[in-house]
Structure 1
């Protein structure tokens, strides 16, 4: 006889104790001895005819290992056949002592599949910005395209806004060189040569860009920069730093004329065609942004209206992946961190919070996909492979070959396709209830 005892460890995590009576264990061992006997070569006995005692003397260790495997499999099969227990994943298990003539106790720690009560997910109300591209936006984009192809010509006169200025500087705090107090970030203390765009402020040097307007080659100037209280470098927070600046070169940005050469470089024949292309690109971009806003509102609605116990193992796994990404990004960052230990603790908290959100919405979307019979098709995988090929400059055939060898990556691709197709379905089913106000900075 086999029975199961359930102990609550948390809302989603349970300890399942499977009890298997001694008679079942003895019966399974006898069966295994018979199977070993058929394969054994014992002098003086035909296959399958050697006494059980001789089989156990020669193969006892192997029989014990196989018995343990069989009993654990029987225990898990019992769990799977119990309709009241839906296992999401096995977190841990202990098989205890398993031998003939004794009851066996196998303990499984499992996370259960959540019971998700879905809200009405068809016709979710969303509010999106009105898709409208102004002439000003088109003209600003054309200006940016020209700026990307600009020449920078050395000039002897004073720097104007948008000119590039080559300068050296040294900072002083309370009359002492800043290098004595800010030792790990020389960019703030002293630089012999660097370039800055006059008139275009940078958060790292508040007020510097405007001070460069009006200076020319050979000029020297002392300027004071006031760093905010929440500045990222602790030693500069709320401090006023005096900088001695010397200008070594000024270059003026010369935009290309809207002539045949420039238009040809943009693969168009006229300024009108260029602006039409820009208009189409901006419209497509705003449509994509609108679609993303819809998705976010739909996910927020589903997360708010669907409450259930999230499997802790899923959160732990996702949190680890997110944290690894954060640490890689940190390692590649140019910014020095004042207190890495505290920062890592903060990142762990952020990773866990983000993981809970991702796992919750993914479980909800998977449930909807199941109900709506949404499944990834071959063409979905092909499209994703071609996208990756374009991004990585690899051959699609090579990516497909690598995927066949990497089941984890293949599962991840399957999940990504499923989630996106489900969100597309929900977006198509949604109802636009109004328009968001366009931010003032976009109206200007």
Structure 2
């Protein structure tokens, strides 16, 4: 075969193939012979129909199979003879039969980007110790007490820090309702009724809760706050918002004693010391997971800032849509309405596009590192991994693997495992500096 590849921008290339007439004839004869041996045609014994009859009766099927065989062979030869890393061979087109009997066709390929690997051994990263301190354990126990708190109505004093104020509120900015000013739904920031707010600086907007301290039940107050620059609604950044607030109720949290009785309600009868040990183990596991994520994020940031290259448009579009779908799903799960999600469509796709670019760049870099270090995922290793997934889902491993094969998902899973090996390799050879243990925060039990 005469094969040429013309590389083009955005990781595409045009593959042009010319199949000599003798190759075409040989392949066609093989196909016709197969049909002749299997076809049942009235008036002829099985396998005895003349080839001309076979060629006429099954012309379309023979041509289709011929093109498929020639295409497959051309793709295999292109991978062996051309300096290309193909992600997708596309759909061959422009099939043409020359007078000589030779066949020509073209296909648009999607290529893996050309990457000049940055230094990936000895990357400097930082992470805290995975040890759980007594202070962190005490904070977690306090969180558990707060979760088990009873809320008693307060009638004999004003609201103070740490109380719960049940409020109605509505907000304005520059004389307009917040939604009128922004021009779209903005969720809870516009106003709510019967809203439970803990009076601490972490609640709602900075400075809001402090202005309700000293309020009595049924009091009405005007609360003004300035929106920080990290607030999700960019149109409000730096704006002064004014809220008309009515305090419906004031409630005081009454925490349970930190004793064996309290521990038994959580653990099913175990004491306080056993609760502490359970929490320490659980927090340690979660903290280690967060530290691992922190290290991986630093590796990703290092690679994405160290090297740049073109990405295939088709893959970038696909990954952007996938990230956008996930953002929409998370927004819906957090309580955002369809109108709110639709109003933030541009912001969602902008965020999704940036994340998609980062994901693809990192994936390609790690695949290249895997190539450079001869990392691989063997068939037995893949099967064991899939069997573990099936077991965790309480599914039959053989049926599970066959289903993945039918859906064409096996190559993607193998690639994910390979990328994971590349990350482990980079982390194993990284220079890790230990930092104070304030971060990452441990999750609540």
TM-score by length of structure 1 reads 0.78
Which residue in the other structure is 2:69 paired with?
70
Q: 1:349: Cα distance to partner?
A: 3.0
Contact 1:38 1:48 in 2 (8 A): yes
Which residue in the other structure is 2:222 paired with?
222
Contact 2:366 2:422 in 1 (8 A): no
> Judging changes above 3 Å, is the alpha-carbon distance between structure 1 residues 154 and 425 closer, same or farther for their aligned structure 2 residues?
same
SS at match of 1:25: helix
SS at match of 1:223: strand
SS at match of 2:72: helix
Q: 1:262: Cα distance to partner?
A: 0.3
Which residue in the other structure is 2:7 paired with?
8
> Judging changes above 3 Å, is the alpha-carbon distance between structure 1 residues 266 and 289 closer, same or farther for their aligned structure 2 residues?
same
Q: 1:313: Cα distance to partner?
A: 5.3
- Which stretch has the larger CA shift, 334-343 or 145-154? 334-343
Which residue in the other structure is 1:153 paired with?
152
Contact 1:315 1:359 in 2 (8 A): no
Which residue in the other structure is 1:93 paired with?
92
TM-score by length of structure 2 reads 0.78
Contact 1:227 1:239 in 2 (8 A): yes
Which residue in the other structure is 1:326 paired with?
327
Correspondence 1:83-162 to 2 at 5 A: 84-98=83-97, 101-112=100-111, 126-156=125-155, 157-162=157-162
Contact 2:159 2:212 in 1 (8 A): yes
RMSD (Å) for aligned C-alpha atoms: 4.0
Contact 1:126 1:297 in 2 (8 A): yes
> Judging changes above 3 Å, is the alpha-carbon distance between structure 1 residues 38 and 300 closer, same or farther for their aligned structure 2 residues?
same
SS at match of 1:161: coil
SS at match of 1:406: helix
Correspondence 1:318-397 to 2 at 5 A: 318-335=319-336, 336=340, 339-340=343-344, 342-347=346-351, 349-364=353-368, 366-367=370-371, 370-371=374-375, 376=381, 379-385=384-390, 389=392, 395-397=393-395
Q: 1:197: Cα distance to partner?
A: 0.9
Contact 1:90 1:109 in 2 (8 A): yes
> Judging changes above 3 Å, is the alpha-carbon distance between structure 1 residues 140 and 23 closer, same or farther for their aligned structure 2 residues?
closer
Contact 1:22 1:103 in 2 (8 A): yes
Q: 1:149: Cα distance to partner?
A: 1.0
Which residue in the other structure is 1:256 paired with?
256
Q: Does 1:244 align with 2:244?
A: yes
> Judging changes above 3 Å, is the alpha-carbon distance between structure 1 residues 366 and 385 closer, same or farther for their aligned structure 2 residues?
farther
Contact 1:39 1:47 in 2 (8 A): yes
**How far apart in 1 are the matches of 2:178 and 2:427?**
55
Contact 1:22 1:100 in 2 (8 A): no
Q: Runs of 5+ in structure 2 lacking a partner?
A: none
**How many residues are treated as equivalent by the alignment?**
432
Q: Runs of 5+ in structure 1 lacking a partner?
A: 390-394
Structure 1 residues 227-269: Cα deviation after superposition (integer angstroms, max 9, x where no partner): 4577544665544444332222111101101233102124375
